[in-house]
Structure 1
Amino acid sequence: MDMKEILIFGLLLVPVWTKCYQDDRELQEAAERKLMTCYPQPAEPPATAAPDSPASCPVEHFPQKSPQHLHDRSLSPWRYVLVTKKDHFPSTYAEAQCLCSGCILIQNKSPPMESHDYNSHPVIQSRVFLKKEPCDGGKKYHLKPVSVKVAVGCTCVRANTSS
């Protein structure tokens, strides 16, 4: 057998190794096992806002008295909102939303102000989720690893300038 034949043979075996699950309970249990053993998930921060609630830059409240969390102390503050994707495992996860378009500047003894010389920009991380996909015939499902880009925080960057 040459490499081409081995590759074709291997590709034909892949569907045989994909396990199809009959019901949602079995699928959920399999997803939890796979996530625990193959794709460990980060601890989810608690949601700090509803996804459709308006976000506002907290410059007038900055700095808060002894803020506990990094997202409250940042010069590019953010909040966490819950995102739900019914066909993914885990199906709900927290995603960061930047609260300011600019960045909060603190200069000398002046009150904090939002500067648009800088931009708040999300920090993106790729995470692996398991996606529920139909097997042949559509009555059973298998789990497919997919990469999803998730905003995990915000950072302050220089504003883009076009010449």
Structure 2
Amino acid sequence: MEMIIKTIIIIIVGVAEGMKVRMSHYENGLAGIAAEYQQFKALLHRNPQLMDTLDVINITNDDVDAAIRREKRSARNESCPIFTNSYLQKAESPRERSLSPWKFVREFDARRTPRYLLKAKCLCDGCINIVTGRETKHLRSVPTHMRITVVKTYKRKLCYETANIAIGCTCVVPSRKPTAGKTAAPKSEKSKKNCYKRPKANLS
């Protein structure tokens, strides 16, 4: 009986240690994505001319749902890279060598301050198979987000909002939740708003 109890304790400890290792890898992965985002922002700050090489996505007239639909359409038009030897020799940044590779774009909103935000866009629907070097649809590339506060203008109101900005992409197992009929579109998360009336201009 004592041996059985000891064996159970060893198994429980082993499972707990395994969970800690997996969480550590997950946290390190997110930290790496955040570091890549900050490093690229710093690079743009040092070399402003590089901004002209980035695609610009104008979402001024989009609501949140329209922006999600636009992102899905543009993602389908991107070419997922093939990890050949020549590609890997040229790929220098983690975003190019990631199994869910991404690129950076500039998102423009005339009603928002700041008007331009750096944003990541996944290049693949699936992920790169480490054996073949090609995309596999058995896994999914999804964006990793960071929350920031922005100011939006609505008619005569200034509103402080929380915006979710994609800073990179990561590879996940597809959801196994059973769905009836067509898959429902993801619901957009409403951002919190704190609005204030803009003071009228004094013409006297």
CA contact (8 A) 2:104 2:119 kept: yes
Question: How many residue pairs end up in the alignment?
Answer: 113
Q: How does 1:1-163 map to 2 (within 5 A)?
A: 43=41, 48-51=54-57, 54-59=77-82, 61=84, 63-107=87-131, 111-133=132-154, 135=156, 143-163=158-178
Cα distance in 2, alignment partners of residues 148 and 75 from structure 1: 26
User: SS state of the match for residue 71, structure 1?
Assistant: helix
Q: Which has the higher strand share?
A: 1
CA change 1:125–1:98 in 2 (3 A) is same
CA contact (8 A) 1:127 1:149 kept: yes
**Residues of 2 paired with 1:158 and 1:61: CA distance?**
24
Aligned to 1:5: none
Higher relative contact order (CA 8 A, sep 6+): 1
On the 8 A contact 1:49/1:79 being kept in 2, the answer is no
1:120–1:57: structure 2 CA closer, same or farther, 3 Å change rule? same
Percent identity over the alignment is 27
For residues 13-53 of structure 1, the C-alpha deviation after alignment (integer angstroms, 9 at most, x for no partner) is: xxxxxxxxxxxxxxxxxxxxxxxxxxxxx637656445469
CA distance in 1, matches of 2:134, 2:116: 35
**Whole-Å separation in 1 of the counterparts to 2:155 and 2:140:** 42
Superposition TM-score, scaled by structure 1 size: 0.58
1:56 and 1:130 map into 2 onto residues whose CA distance is 34
Gap runs ≥5 in structure 2: 1-37, 45-50, 58-73, 179-204
Post-superposition offset of 1:124: 1.4
TM-score, reference length from structure 2: 0.47
CA RMSD of aligned residues (A): 2.7
